[in-house]
Structure 1
């Protein structure tokens, strides 16, 4: 076997194992990114695509693999990536040249539009000749949304084709009608599904009165699913406003108030309360307090984020609400309240005692937030409470937890002691000596 053949074999093997780091090493050492897989006669990029392996596909394209290489069946690796039904995979291998006017762009659009209306399970049955049913698994992307992947007879298809088409049209500045984006979303009526989420995001990014009015009208529809999509589209607009620092942000978010007051569906109401968190003030707090005893913990969990905590000071009604919610029977409500307290650095003594109580909570995340909130308040009880967080449980995202707050608290106080500075909080307020 020649040296060149051995390198190809190692590259094919690394792609087959899904070892993106090894693929990058081999490419850096001179391996051909367009090498052919001997078992299929196709470029190794096609093998990564058929395995829905985004990291390896990205590594190959970065290393020079050609996603537009014409294959014996007339397709290209890019078209196969779009066909796989995973939006993230398709975007990972999509070259910028396909977005410019011309035959490549039209081919991509035509392909995406055809795939957006297929039923993946029906397509798998057609290809394999098997009756099914297909095995379904859920795959989440970095945004928290995801899609289903269906496998039958060794073939796999995702059901995110419409999400890719929606994002592609928006990228090309093609204005897809509101009704069409709604119809796509309704094929996957799940807020966590990429098809639903992408339709709402694209509408929200338009920031125009026509889109806002159309969604607001839909908010009066008797069908709660249609109202849910309308609420999602309006929420996306409010978030897009905030990202662009548009002056209309407060006015648009305030429009959620009358709808929230009349909305009977818990799922829709949750989205509306999310929208109201982009406003602040006594009126918003009053709406939040109205849901303090709501029977659904999902709704009660939004109350802290609707409270008016200007400069870290809670109003009496808000303080009473926080004390109640932090002792809520639902662990999820307690966690959300404690997370909010970590961000709202009030100095009320009742809050400090409450946080110490929460360091004994059944949920590790709640305990971590409580310890961090104590540290940010420069409460020395955080040191003794840190051990209560315990070893991280399997599957915990350590980056999502404030696990270094006590270390920073100790470092800050040591520096103050070394320099003879009076102890202060993070925002520069002096701490009474008695607390030390």
Structure 2
């Protein structure tokens, strides 16, 4: 696949059913081909005829124990390794377009999709550590998410990542959730109120 892409093959080529080859690779559990396609420029957020995208088909796709389907049926996934592969592949694409396409899904109704976005943001920070060009938008994005997330379990995870950063509104968000009924959320509050300015600094 990499050889074909290097020779100029279109990474978004579609089959007779209008499904891009990226989706076909996802349905076949061919992580190597999927990774090569994404790295070669395939659009994981391309809207397909049924309204889904290759990205969410990778996250929601059928489990290893399910019959493999060439139309990427949306059965619940029990393949975290595949999801992590997709996440890492997207993370290595240092482009504002990729970042914007992924984080736009933080409002998605499916918790699995929001968890994927959060995993992406966390890994992005690790992979691009030391690169300040995106740090402001990361802080603002996480601050907005922390202020709006209503699911307690997800909110605790968002706060865990958010408090890795320094942000001027962090104390206000910490105070906002100091009396939250979910202990998982309250557990994150001290880090938001830390005089060190961020969880990362407090750990250091």
Q: TM class, shorter-chain normalised? A: 0.5 to 0.7
Within-5 A mapping of 1:25-424: 101=3, 116-118=26-28, 161-169=29-37, 173-178=39-44, 179-187=53-61, 193-241=80-128, 243-310=129-196, 343=203
Instruction: Output the CA distance in 1 between the equivalents of 2:135 and 2:78.
Output: 23
TM (norm. structure 2) is 0.61
For 1:129-148, what per-residue CA distance to the aligned partner results, in whole angstroms no more than 9, with x for missing partners?
A: xxxxxxxxxxxxxxxxxxxx
Alpha-carbon RMSD across the aligned residues, in angstroms, is 3.7
C-alpha distance after superposition, 1:76-99 (max 9, x if no partner): xxxxxxxxxxxxxxxxxxxxxxx9
CA pair 255-164 structure 1, distance change in 2 beyond 3 A: same
User: CA contact under 8 A between 1:228 and 1:268: conserved in structure 2?
Assistant: yes
- Rate the CA distance shift 1:280–1:114 in 2: closer, same or farther, 3 A: closer
Give 1:356's aligned residue. none
Number of equivalenced pairs = 165
CA contact (8 A) 1:250 1:278 kept: no
In 2 relative to 1, CA 197–206 (structure 1 residues): closer, same or farther, beyond 3 Å? Answer: same
- Segments of 5+ residues of structure 2 without an aligned counterpart are 5-22, 45-52, 64-75
Relative to structure 1, is the Cα distance of residues 191 and 308 closer, same or farther in structure 2, using a 3 angstrom cutoff? farther
Call closer, same or farther: CA 1:311–1:224 in 2, change over 3 Å: closer
CA–CA distance in 2 between the matches of 1:276 and 1:192? 27
TM-score scaled by length of structure 1: 0.32
Output the CA distance in 1 between the equivalents of 2:188 and 2:33: 33
Alpha-carbon deviations, 1:266-323, whole Å to 9, x = none? Answer: 34323422331232145213213322333333323333333333399xxxxxxxxxxx
Larger Rg: 1
Cα distance in structure 2, aligned partners of 1:257 and 1:311: 14
* Conservation of the 8 A alpha-carbon contact between 1:207 and 1:240: no
For the Cα contact (< 8 Å) 2:59–2:113, is it kept in 1?
no
Q: Secondary structure at the match of 1:206?
A: coil
Is residue 90–residue 98 contact of structure 2 (8 Å, CA) maintained in 1?
yes
CA distance in 1, matches of 2:189, 2:78: 21
Counterparts of 1:192 and 1:293, CA distance in 2: 36
Q: Classify 1:301/1:205 alpha carbon distance in 2 versus 1 (closer, same or farther; 3 Å).
A: farther
**Cα distance change on mapping 1:164 and 1:267 into 2, 3 Å:** farther
Which SS does the other structure have where 1:182 is aligned?
helix
SS in 2 for 1:278: coil
Q: Is the 8 A contact 2:25 2:31 kept in 1?
A: no
